[in-house]
Amino acid sequence: MSTPDSVATLDGLMNDGRPDTLPSVLEAAKASMIELLSQAPFPPSAVRVTVGPVTIEMDWPGTAPDAGTALEARVVPAPAQTMPTPGDGPVLDHIHAPTVGVFYRAPEPGAKPFVSEGDTVVPGQQVGLVEAMKLMIPVESDRQGTIEEFLQPNGALVEYGDPLCSFVPADGR
């Protein structure tokens, strides 16, 4: 195999020790690969994706890596995440709607909300649900942090990707 022109390693996503990280790593790997392919000057002759730790390799035969033109490998965030906003204040992230539907903060009317503003959440913790066609689709945080503010009221009509709440990630990233 010739020297890869582009390598993206996602060790960070693999190192949190959770078994359910793999789907998100795969999703991120796929999104990253698609992004790289769409920006490539011409299609590669080979693409290899390995998982654990995740590596994406693309080969362009007969072309040596060129510092001026080589693609910069990067991980594209999955729709459930947004990149941190630069600035002086605390870094904000958001949790987004996993599908179109009606957003609820509690498991049933009158019940205690899954989480409240100011609560700390851990990866995989449910913070709400979206109902679509009588299916209750859980909304979970994919990282540790503190819920800052709910951006959608209980019972709001949301679409896929709408930000549901803002939170401050514990790792500041």
The residues binding other proteins (CB under 8 A) are: 34, 37-38, 40-43, 79, 99-101, 132-133, 135, 157, 159-161
Query: Which residue number, 111 or 157, has a Cβ lying nearer to other proteins?
Result: 157
Instruction: Give the shortest CB-13-to-other proteins separation in angstroms.
Output: 18
Q: Which helix (H) or strand (E) holds 28?
A: helix 21-39
Spatial neighbors of 114 by CB under 8 A, at least 6 apart, are 105, 106, 107, 125, 126, 127, 128, 129
Measured between alpha carbons, how far is 48 from 110 in angstroms, rounded to an integer?
51
Q: Residue 64 corresponds to which tokens in the numbers above?
A: 């040596």
Measured between alpha carbons, how far is 172 from 114 in angstroms, rounded to an integer?
23
Instruction: Give the shortest CB-32-to-other proteins separation in angstroms.
Output: 12
Instruction: Give the shortest CB-100-to-other proteins separation in angstroms.
Output: 5
Q: Which helix (H) or strand (E) holds 8?
A: strand 6-9
Query: Which residue number, 26 or 92, has a Cβ lying nearer to other proteins?
Result: 26
Measured between alpha carbons, how far is 170 from 27 in angstroms, rounded to an integer?
23
Measured between alpha carbons, how far is 94 from 40 in angstroms, rounded to an integer?
30
Measured between alpha carbons, how far is 101 from 157 in angstroms, rounded to an integer?
6
Query: Which residue number, 23 or 52, has a Cβ lying nearer to other proteins?
Result: 23
Query: Which residue number, 15 or 45, has a Cβ lying nearer to other proteins?
Result: 45
Instruction: Give the shortest CB-124-to-other proteins separation in angstroms.
Output: 19
Instruction: Give the shortest CB-62-to-other proteins separation in angstroms.
Output: 15
Query: Which residue number, 53 or 155, has a Cβ lying nearer to other proteins?
Result: 155
